[in-house]
Amino acid sequence: MKIATWNVNSIKARLANVTHWLEQGRPDIVLLQEIKCQSPDFPVLDFKALGYHVETVGQKTYNGVAILSRAPIADLVTRLPGDETDEQARYIEATIGNLRVASIYLPNGNPVESDKYPYKLRWMERLRRHAATLLARERPLVLAGDYNVIPTDADVYDPEGWRADALCRTETRAAFRRIVHLGLTDAFRALDDRAGQYSFWDYQAGRWPRDEGLRIDHLLLSPQAADRLVATGIDRDPRGREKASDHTPVWCELSG
DNA sequence: ATGGTTGCCTCGCAA
């Protein structure tokens, strides 16, 4: 069972790129972020034609998350609990077979002097509380997405240059560790300890050709899922294609 | 060198 996460930066702008990658990699479950459209505008038929069920939480212009799955999708949750006033489309969760999965688009948080940074930290605390609830079920669970968190200096091309950024600063990393320390496993890091393995390269300033990136897209596994972890990887190919997203897919393979 | 790019229904904002 291959599960991938990919921030596509507009599903409409990325449709050819995404369908090409689905045909190549044949993943069982794909968690998408930044679909940047309302749910009725999502190109559902293009993915049905490739054998995928589709569920979305859309929003005009910004944000938006989706689940693609070869097996049926059940028991949908479309909001992260903890703040009924939060209208941003950043969370979708469902059951597929014996697996609970979520597609997460965690707030960027820049600039840190704005109200965006406290929103990010509040959102992370909400995620921590909800992850604790999900972990109490003691079932296979994958919380995957664009976390907008650089976990360590090994995950950024210029640690000093990024030190004060909302993706990197001490409070952000501490909040991320509070989530992980509930008992989650970073699937990529569990099997690959190399520094400089990135999932995002800024469009600006030639970051991709110079391989100056960030690892900010993560798959966090419950113990019952981590026990089945057999492989992981980052597919760099889509980042080098025409009309690329600034993110590229990260995936893991679970046995059974 | 205070740059640079992409996507959106915008005439700036978010990333």
Q: Is the peptide bond before A43 cis (omega within 30 degrees of 0)?
A: no
CB-strand contact A115/B, under 7 Å? no
3-state secondary structure of A99: strand
Task: For residues A54 and A45, give the distance between their C-alpha atoms in angstroms, rounded to a whole number.
Answer: 9
According to CATH, what is the number of the domain A2-254? 3.60.10.10
Task: For residues A235 and A92, give the distance between their C-alpha atoms in angstroms, rounded to a whole number.
Answer: 23
Rg over alpha carbons for chain A, rounded to the nearest Å, is 17
Cβ neighbours of A102 (radius 10 Å): 23
List the single protein residue with the shortest CA to C1' distance from B1. A205
CA atoms within 13 A on the CB side of A221: 25
Contact A25, A1 (CB under 8 A): no
pLDDT digits (tens, 9 = 90+) for A134-165: 999 999 999 999 999 999 999 999 999 999 99
Contact A179, A220 (CB under 8 A): yes
Those nucleotides of strand B lying less than 7 Å from any protein Cβ are 4-9, 14-15
CB-strand contact A39/B, under 7 Å? no
Give the nearest nucleotide to A107, CA to C1': B15
List the single protein residue with the shortest CA to C1' distance from B14. A62
Amino acid A32: pLDDT:
98
The Å distance, CA of A139 to C1' of B5, is 42
Q: How far is the CA of A158 from the CAs of A30, A161, A204, in angstroms? A: 30, 5, 15
Q: What are the φ and ψ backbone dihedral angles of A80, each rounded to 5 degrees?
A: -80, 120
Q: Which amino acid belongs to residue A150? A: I
Question: A203 Cβ partners below 8 Å, 6+ apart?
Answer: A246
The Å distance, CA of A212 to C1' of B12, is 28
pLDDT digits (tens, 9 = 90+) for A174-195: 999 999 999 999 999 999 999 9
List the single protein residue with the shortest CA to C1' distance from B6. A203
Return the sign of the alpha-carbon dihedral for residues A169, A175, A181, A185. negative
Average pLDDT over residues A128-133: 98
pTM above 0.85, yes or no: yes
CB-strand contact A238/B, under 7 Å? no
pLDDT digits (tens, 9 = 90+) for A72-94: 999 999 999 999 999 999 999 99
Domain boundaries, chain A: 2-254
CB-strand contact A114/B, under 7 Å? no
